Amino acid sequence: MQNRAVGHYENFPVASWLCPPAMRPVLQALYHFARYADDVADEGDAPAAQRLATLQALDAGLVALAQQPHTRGLAPPLAGLAQHWQAWRLPLQPLRDLLDAFAQDVRHTAHGLRYADDAALLAYCARSANPVGRLVLHLAGVHEPPALAQSDAICTGLQLINFWQDLSVDGPRGRFYVPQSRWLQVGLPGDTDPAQAPPAQARAVITALVAEARGHLLRGAPLARRVPGRLGLELHAVVAGGLRVCDRVQRMSPAPWQQRVVLGWRDAPALALGMGKLVWRGYTGAT
> What is the residue-wise DSSP string for 157-223?
HHHHHHHHHTHHHHGGGT---S-HHHHHHTTS-TT--GGGS-HHHHHHHHHHHHHHHHHHHHHHTTH
Note whether 194 and 205 are within 8 A (CB): yes
Q: Cβ(219)–Cβ(209) under 8 Å?
A: no
**pLDDT mean across residues, the chain:** 87
- For residue 281, the model assigns a pLDDT of 57
pTM, rounded to two decimals: 0.90
pLDDT > 90? residue 103: yes
pLDDT band for position 17 (cuts 50, 70, 90): low
User: In this model, does residue 273 exceed pLDDT 80?
Assistant: no
Instruction: Read off the pLDDT of each residue in 1-9 and give the average, rounded to a whole number.
Output: 38
What would the pLDDT profile of 32-81 be if each residue is shown by its tens digit?
A: 999 999 999 999 999 999 999 999 999 999 999 999 887 777 888 999 99
What pLDDT shows up at residue 4? 35
Q: What is the pLDDT of residues 160-180, one digit of tens each?
A: 999 999 999 998 888 999 999
Q: Domains of the chain (ranges plus CATH)?
A: 15-91+105-111 (no CATH), 114-287 (1.10.600.10)
SS3 9: strand
